[in-house]
Structures are given as structure tokens and as C-alpha cells.
Amino acid sequence: MAALEAQKLSTAEETEVQQWITTSERLKASPADASILDKLNTHLTSRATLLGSKPSKADIAIYESLASTVKSWTAEQRTGQQGHPHIVRHLDFVQNSGLFGLKISDEDKIKVDPEEVLYVKPPTDAKAEKERLKKEKAAAAAAAAGGETTLVDRTKAVAAAVVEKAVEAKDAVAAAAGVGEAKPKKEKKEKAPKPQKAPAVTTPPSPHLIDLRVGHILKAIKHPEADSLYVSTIAMGDKPGTDDTEEYEGQVCRTVCSGLNGLVPLEEMQGRKVVVVANLKPVKMRGIKSCAMVLAASPRLKEGEVDDHKGPVELVTPPADAKAGERVCFDGWRGEPEGVLNPKKKIWETFQPGFTTTENLEVAFDGSAVEAAGKAETGKLTTASGGTCTVKTLKGATVR
């Protein structure tokens, strides 16, 4: 653990660590999510740790989220053709390496049999691959050279020459007969070059691309298949017929799963206003499709500290007069959000580390914490009318 605490990380690496911690929280809530597991397994294909070779608290977070699940994986799930062998290898490294300081007893460790490998990707035939590349290269060279003039091309050239000679003879006869002066050949007009299309305007990444709205929880229940989750029915201003919505008590609502069971009393979830992230890609959490995320604050971890997920946690509260569906933005970063955030662009993962709370218990975005923000300012999370979103007691917290 001492080596881990002494590890110096760059700003980009710190951001990546926070992104993996966010992923670990999603895995803790939904450890069987195939899309996340596949991406994690691919990422670890050529890496010893999540950062490549540097150990970090992100490796510990992933271990804590997946260890209990991987213990129960079958051999097919571990090393079969559709399995996740690199995840197994990574977790085995974390639980046994002294770099991470996890004092796990042998009986609590994931049992890994290095001889139990059900599928090995067949090697590429080097000779056949070399021959294929050679043929592709030859074909490309022939295409570039253009080859010899084809019969069609030669025929067109001859026909054009005959027509030109006929025109010249006709002009000469007309001049000799005194019919008139031979008409000068028309010069071909050079075609004006087509105007170049202006390059597409790309919107630079910014916190305003995240669709933050006021949500009204109409009801909340415990998830029937996950002890750590609540399932809430939340009105957030969607129009009737919007994908992934349903009508409840005359309002258009979304179903939202949140890992708040045991951290926020269920009675505090009922009938209250919250702030939601409304444009994350929906994800199934233990069989229930979650179509948004509820924002909450928790103490910011110190360097080397591991999140034990014991809280405290406080929900972000919008202004009392705010209506369900009303947008909230960070001052200094207002703009139109994207429809659905593209997971590949990692907009949420990039800017979430700047979400925090001030000494006055106001939710804000700290631009100095995120290089992509473009400015080192701090902007409060407010409605269009100027009302500010707050928390009860947590100062300098992280908000996610």
C-alpha cells in the first residue's frame, strides 16, 4: 500500500482513475452487465493494471466490485470462447500483489487454476498472411499505375480524331466556295472548380453537454434482486411517447435504479425533488432498465484512500420552486445538451471529477479540476431563474 500511496499520477491518469472508479460503481450495481465486462476485458488484454503498468486505487475499486461475482463464475465464463480471462487474471494479480496492500485470506480469495484454460485463440498462419498481404500490395500498385489504355479508351480517342478532321474539312470547303469565313472552333470553357464544403462544426466538449434536469420522484421501492439498489419512478419533463418512458399518476416518467439503499432512507426518496442526469445511455441493472441517474454527494476521497461505500451520501436538492423537467446548468458553462451521450466520447467520465460542493453547501463545477473544461473557474449549478442546487451538510464533496 505504501508503494501505491507514493505513486505519482499525471492529470490525465488521475482522470482515467476516476473514470474507472465510476465504472466500478456501475459494475457493483450490475456485475453481470456484458457490455461493461467485454470492454473491461478488452482493455486488460495487453495491460497488467488499468493504467497499463502503474497500480492505482482504480484497480482496487474494480476488484471490490467484481470479486464476489467472479468467484461464482463457471470455467466457461472465465476462460471459454466468450469468457473474460483478462478480468480473472487482473483480479488475481490485485489480490496477490503486495502493491495493493489487500490483506485477503486464502479462503476469501478468488480461486484461479492456471491450467484450466478452455479456449485459446488460434495463431495466425504467418506464411499465408504474408502471401495475402503481398497480393493486396500488388493489386494496389496495379490500380495506382492505371494499367495500359483499354480498348474502349483507344476507340474513343480514334472517334474524337475523326470528328475533329471532319470539322476542319467542312470549314475549308466553305471558305473555298465563298460561302463565308470558316467558323472558328469554339474554345472549351474551363470548368470553375467546385467550392469546397466548409468543414463540419464540432462542438468542443463541455459540461453543458450533460443533460441535468430537475426530477420529481413519485415513488421509490427496493430493487427485488439487488440489496443495494432502489428503483424510482421519476418525472423529468419528457414528452408523451418518448422512448423508455411510461405514464404514472398522469405524468410521463422514467424508471431509474440508484445504489442508495442503505445510504439514504427509503422514506427520504418518496415524493421529493432531485437532480438527474437525463442523457446517459440506458443500462440494465439486475434485470431492470435504468434510464437516468440521480445525483448525490459523498465525501471526496483522500490520496490512497479506498471508497468503502458506507457513506455518508446526500441527495442534490434543486430550488424549492423548480419544476420537474427544468434544466439546471453550471454558471459559465450553459448550452444545449446532447440527445444521448456517446459512451465512446466519455463526456460524463471527463467532467464528473469537477462536480463538487462549496463551503456554502452549493453544488458547483470546478473547472480547475478538469483540463478539458477550458477555464479554471467555478460555476454554481443553477436554474435559468438563478436558483441554486444544494446539499445538506457535505462541503468539498464529490457529486455523481
All residue ranges of the chain with pLDDT < 50 are 147-152, 155, 179-182
Q: Sheet of 378-383: strands edge to edge?
A: 314-315, 296-298, 398-399, 355-357, 363-366, 378-383, 328-330
Distant-in-sequence, close-in-space partners of 2: CB < 8 Å, separation ≥ 6: 101
Can you read off the three cell numbers belonging to residue 371? 483540463
Q: pLDDT value at position 150?
A: 46
d(CA 356, CA 89): 35
Can you read off the three cell numbers belonging to residue 173? 470547303
- Report whether 273 contacts 318 (CB < 8 A): yes
Can you read off the three cell numbers belonging to residue 310? 458506507
Q: pLDDT value at position 151?
A: 44
Q: pLDDT value at position 52?
A: 86
Q: pLDDT value at position 216?
A: 97
CA dihedral over 58, 61, 63, 65, signed as positive or negative: negative
**How far is residue 211 CA from its own chain's centroid?**
15
- Report whether 202 contacts 219 (CB < 8 A): no
Q: Which residue has the cell 469537477?
A: 354
Does the model's pTM come out above 0.85?
A: no
